[in-house]
Amino acid sequence: MFMGEYQHTIDSKGRLIVPAKFREGLGEKFVLTRGLDQCLFGYPLSEWKVIEEKLKALPLTKKDARAFTRFFFSGAIECEMDKQGRINIAAPLLAYAKLEKECVVIGVSSRIEIWSKQNWEQYVAEQEESFEEIAENMIDFDI
């Protein structure tokens, strides 16, 4: 399980040091793709296979299913960590998430997310205002 929030930087070559606490869970190779809310999602290969199977089961006749599957898979790359725990993030993913220098890497249960520091701070500020309301709505999910 991934949890926590870590401040990091991306170097001029588009490399990011993956937080040490996340390295073992991700494995030497993992999948990075466009996520929701303008961040990147990173999945261990085992978790990616589960998601892949679920998305393959979506009906091709549904426009939203086709669009989401295209968006999700077309942005996916397999990342491999070097000996220093760094990964190279492809230019299209850097652009999508507006990643330049300062970023935030967070753990979200079965995945990691990589955010630009500015987008993360804005997201947190917006969500803090409605956190209690969101929590009340989660009761519908038996949480």
- Give residue-wise pLDDT tens across range 78-115: 999 999 999 999 999 999 999 999 999 999 999 999 99
94, 1 Cβ separation under 8 angstroms = no
Residue 12: domain span? 2-141
Q: What is the pTM of this model?
A: 0.93
Q: H/E/C letters for each residue in 99-138?
A: CCCEEEEEEEECEEEEEEHHHHHHHHHHHHHHHHHHHHHH
Q: How many structural domains is the chain composed of?
A: 1
The secondary structure element, H or E, covering residue 11 is none
Q: Which of 141, 94, 97 is nearest to 115 (CA)?
A: 97
pLDDT level of residue 140 (50, 70, 90 thresholds): confident
The CATH number of the domain holding residue 59 is: 3.40.1550.20
Distances (CA, A) of 72 to 42, 61, 124, 128, 134: 12, 17, 24, 27, 26
